[in-house]
Amino acid sequence: MEPKPAVQQPAVDQSPENVPAPTGEVRPVGERRGMFGVSGTGDTSGYGGLVAPVVLPGAAQRPYGPSTGSGGAGWFDVVADGLDPLIESVVIHRGEITFHIARENLVAAVKLLRDEPSLRFELCAGVNGVHYPEDAGRELHAVYSFLSMTYNRRIRVEVSVPDADPHLPSICSVYPAVDWHERETYDMFGLIFDGHPALTRILMPDDWPGHPQRKDYPLGGIPVEYKGGTIPPPDQRRSYT
């Protein structure tokens, strides 16, 4: 019997996931020095001398894709068409799409995502905060994840606000399930969601100083702030409403 021909295996991309995009496809927002921004620790691993740029993916250009294979626009473009002209920019990175929206357009954009028949993003999976201290005028980012169960599509919406004015509108009136997500993002990053029904801390005590997941928050060498803490009886605790 003649030997069977070898099955041709598809090419596999062997490049590591953290390889930066080619020059011109990223936007620098700062520089990282040392591991976690800490210096003078006596670290002998070499991380103390680390110097690396902090970059964000650059804006994409149409057509966004992914291709339908028939010459038509991909679903990324369908969603972009539904959100025009509310979009500031579109970023496509590692096959995922993010729509950057100005804060004054956020509520209008998420209403379109939920209600427009060609979009139908029924679920907002939550909001996360990100802090870029050196991204002047855009230091704080709120990142929302949306899922369309009708079309099996996932997108992100990102809103950037300055550290000096960390306000953006709450979307609880459109997606009530983000209530506690907005509270956590406020608690950890200091983003203020105007119109939230009860924007109070959810993880830290009410009188906790600062916002622990910001990059300018102390990493150590501070007193144990829970020491001596007490919990009042139920009838004296603050009400959620």
| Mean per-residue pLDDT over the chain, rounded | 83
pLDDT at 188 over 90: yes
222 CB burial (10 A radius; 0-12, 13-18, 19+):
exposed
Q: What is the pTM of this model?
A: 0.78
- pLDDT tens figures, 13-59: 444 444 445 544 788 888 877 766 566 555 566 676 778 888 888 89
How many Å apart are CA 17 and CA 234, to the nearest integer? 49
Residue 35 placed within a domain = no
Total domains present in the chain:
1
Residue 25 placed within a domain = no
Interval 182-205 mean pLDDT: 96
Residue 142 placed within a domain = yes
> Which pLDDT score, from 0 to 100, does residue 194 have?
98
Residue 48 placed within a domain = no
pLDDT at 97 over 60: yes
CATH number at residue 141: 3.30.460.80
Domain with 194, as residue range(s), is 56-219
